[in-house]
């Protein structure tokens, strides 16, 4: 019946009875709307019940990686996409730091998600979209990027690099 104000016709008929009708009509429709609307919101907004936890994915041998020269490694990871489990190509920029630590950055610029690359001449990561620059440890050196590059969880198995979850992007589920 909407929010329209209805001017009741002036009649001698019992107004309390009339009021009861009106209250009942609004009340019952309110209950129906809530019983349909709330589950609908839950249905649309709640994330799907999680399947299994993240696994570690082996991305390659980093034994021969030269320190301070990032390389882009390609690997396949399986991802749950709605009712499907898909296997997709994924990449990471992997850097061996001076003290032999390994970092792996997610392949997307933290500004608007473009693919960035390593500029050897500059010694920085460059995003061509809006020219964000990141230093070798992922910090923003210039440009509109709001935060440092996202990092994967990493684990070493001998010289084999294993990647876990992509961290640092709270709104993105990887």
What are the residues binding other proteins (CB under 8 A)? 1-2, 4-7, 9, 18, 21-22, 24-25, 28-29, 31-32, 35-36, 39-40, 42-44, 46, 48-49, 82-84
Please name every residue paired with 105 in a beta bridge, in sequence order, or none if there are none.
93, 151
* Residue 151 interacts with, from ligand FES, other proteins, none (CB under 5-8 Å by kind): none
Q: Which of 97, 51, 52, 43 is nearest to 70 (CA)?
A: 97
Helix (H, G, I), strand (E, B) or coil at 37: helix
Virtual CA dihedral for 151, 153, 157, 162, nearest 10 degrees? -70
Nearer to other proteins, 4 or 98 (CB): 4
Helix (H, G, I), strand (E, B) or coil at 130: coil
Q: Please report how close the Cβ of residue 56 comes to other proteins at its closest, in angstroms.
A: 18
Judged by CB under 6 A, the stretch of 20-28, 96-104, 125-133, 149-157 that binds ligand FES is 125-133
Residues 139-168 that bind ligand FES (CB under 6 A): 143-145
Q: Which of 137, 133, 135, 154 is nearest to 145 (CA)?
A: 133
Task: Give contact residues for ligand FES (rule: CB under 6 A).
Answer: 109, 111-112, 114, 127, 129-130, 132, 143-145
């Amino acid at each position: 019946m909407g929010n329209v104000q209805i001017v009741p016709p002036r009649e001698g008929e019992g107004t309390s009875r009339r009021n009861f009708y009106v209250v009942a009509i609004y009340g019952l429709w309110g209950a129906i709307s809530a019983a349909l609307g709330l589950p609908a919101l839950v249905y649309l907004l709640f994330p799907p019940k999680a399947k299994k936890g993240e696994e570690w994915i082996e991305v390659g041998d980093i034994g021969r990686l030269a320190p301070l020269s990032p390389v882009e490694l390609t690997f396949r990871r399986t991802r749950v996409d709605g009712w499907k489990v898909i296997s997709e190509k994924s990449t990471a920029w992997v850097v061996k730091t001076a003290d032999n630590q390994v970092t792996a950055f997610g392949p997307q610029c933290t500004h608007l998600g473009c693919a960035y690359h390593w500029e050897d001449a500059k010694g920085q990561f460059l995003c061509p979209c809006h020219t964000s620059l990141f230093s070798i440890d992922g910090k923003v050196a210039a440009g509109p990027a709001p935060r440092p590059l996202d990092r994967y969880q990493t684990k070493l198995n001998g010289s084999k690099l294993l990647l876990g979850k992509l961290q640092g992007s709270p709104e993105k589920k990887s």
